[in-house]
Amino acid sequence: MRLSTKAQYAVRAMVSLHLHSDGTPTSIKDIAAREDISSTYLEQLFVKLRRGRIVESVRGPGGGYVLARPAHSIQVDQIIDSVEETLVPVSCMEQNGRCACDDQCVTHTVWQGLGEKIRTFLGSITLEDLTREARERMTSREAR
């Protein structure tokens, strides 16, 4: 299974937002520059992240985006779900895990189990975990 660019960018952008915000609003432009992602593309993702109650927008001068709730309560699977990406491992399975074929294929239980493990794994990682790891990497690079 390969996650889409949309899912990868959404997770990267959220780590960048949390890592560099200090609780103040961060602009799409700043995140785009740090992550080398198109600001137009990020704007589309942040609309979905806002609808998913992952971020909140702040208008006006100095505006941008802030986390809608504490980073320790935002799981990676929630970020991916917010940008409407599926976590099913094979294309024949629908979002709810049922096989789209008329008769379930003999390998259905394998793919269903894999999908559950992927979701469980991504649900066990929080934005705070990823941000902590990013800080550690930055610190170790600076120490070199």
Cα 134 to Cα 34: distance, rounded to the nearest angstrom:
13
Question: Can you give the pLDDT at residue 3?
Answer: 79
Q: For 32-76, how does the pLDDT look when each residue is reduced to its tens digit (9 = 90+)?
A: 999 999 999 999 999 999 999 999 999 988 889 999 999 999 999
What's the rounded mean pLDDT across residues 26-34? 96
Give the Cβ contact number of residue 37 at 10 Å. Answer: 20
**What is the average pLDDT across 20-39?**
93
Which of the four pLDDT bands, split at 50, 70 and 90, describes residue 89? confident
98, 30 contact by CB (below 8 A): no
- The Cα 104–Cα 127 span in angstroms is 36
5-143 CATH, one of 3.40.50.300, 1.10.10.10, 1.20.1250.20, 3.40.630.10: 1.10.10.10
CA distance readout (Å), 131 to 72, 111, 127: 10, 31, 6
The model's pTM is: 0.86
pLDDT for 103 = 63
Among candidate residues 105, 81, 82, the one with its CA nearest the CA of residue 95: 81
